[in-house]
Amino acid sequence: MKITRVETALARVPLKQRTITDSQSKVDAVDFLQVTLSTDDGITGYGMNWSYTPGLRAAQVAVDDDYAPILLGGDPVQRKELVRRCYYSNHFVGRVGATQVGLAAVEFALWDLICRAAKQPLWKYLGPCRDRVKAYSTDGGWLSWSVDDLVRDATRLVERGFDAVKVKLGRPDPSEDLARVKAVRHAIGSKVKLMTDVNCAWSLGTAQYWGSRLAEHEVFWLEEPMHPFDVKAHAQLARSISVPIAVGETIYTKYAFRDFIEAGAVHVVQADATKLSGIDEWLEVAALASAANLPLVPHTNVQHKLHVQLAAATPAVLMVENCYESIADIWEEPIYVKNGYYELPEGPGVGLKIRDEVISATRIS
């Protein structure tokens, strides 16, 4: 099997819900980069990456100008070598960021070709350890929600079958964050896991003081409390509060995860294959976490089908995030949460193909 054509499309898909916010971002649409690899065997592979801030055009250029010439004529079975060559084609201008976002989309498409050739979904190709994957929801805990909205949505999610929900933190006055957490905990009771997410907005002092207060409300983890490159500060925080620290959404290499783990700066590893260089590096991070006896909870916004399948084949994964449900139907064979668990896809491949009509209606490049 040889790759005969490389195509890209950039689309901006509006959310079908009110604008959502965290401490850093305001989101009313998600940008998607679709990478399509055609082969002489008639098998087509699809990869994807995403962003809720502008910038994917740079990733598209990296695929079109740098990676496509390397991929053409290549054998997808040689996936790791092709990815290595793509990586070094532009590493002087971007070892992480836009170039890596584009490379991950290529890597997913290469995996997709192999799984489609084997006529298996990714989770079966990898070898499953479970036949369903527990979900937790972020969709009811956005920072712009009022306390009444938070309580209503958290209660609704629990009634749907979720036994774990997450609330965003990072208001200008952290005492408001604490009051919001207290209200949600009171509404959902002590048996439901309650997580919190700062999206990198706090200083070490703020995280130490207010993070310690979260223990009063049995918070299951404190996510991204500070700048994600500051391993030392996270290690100091982990030693000074009892609430577990979760990081990974904005960590881009296995080496950075290694440093967090070795420093004792993380308790819950939230590796995201769309931020790393793809599935292979995600599996390496999963192995690092497993060797350190740390649980994985993949960061997931729109890439549910990818991480649910990785979770189905990775014993250390506790659960997978669920949010942006309003656009779940953009995918071919979308998956949904039922009674607190994700269903697993049965179609062959990685499952990152956006429906043609969605691309046509929302394409911007």
Q: What is the mean pLDDT of each run of 10 residues along the chain (365 residues)?
A: 98 91 92 98 98 94 98 98 97 92 98 98 98 96 95 97 98 97 98 98 98 98 97 98 97 98 98 98 98 98 96 98 95 95 96 98 97
Return the SS3 of 221: strand
Residue of 121, 157, 152, 124 whose CA lies nearest to 138: 157
What's the confidence (pLDDT) of residue 214?
98
Please, what is the Cα angle at 308 between 306 and 314, to 5 degrees? 105
CB 329 within 8 A of CB 302: no
Do 332 and 356 form a contact (C-beta atoms < 8 A)? no
> Of the candidates 207, 208, 156, which has an alpha carbon nearest to the alpha carbon of residue 184?
156
154 token code pair: 């958290």
| Residue 218 · residue 184 · CB < 8 Å | no
Question: Which pLDDT does position 54 carry in this prediction?
Answer: 87
Identify the pLDDT of residue 41: 97
pLDDT at 94: 87
Name residue, tokens 């079109």.
64
Other beta carbons within 10 angstroms of residue 132's beta carbon come to 15
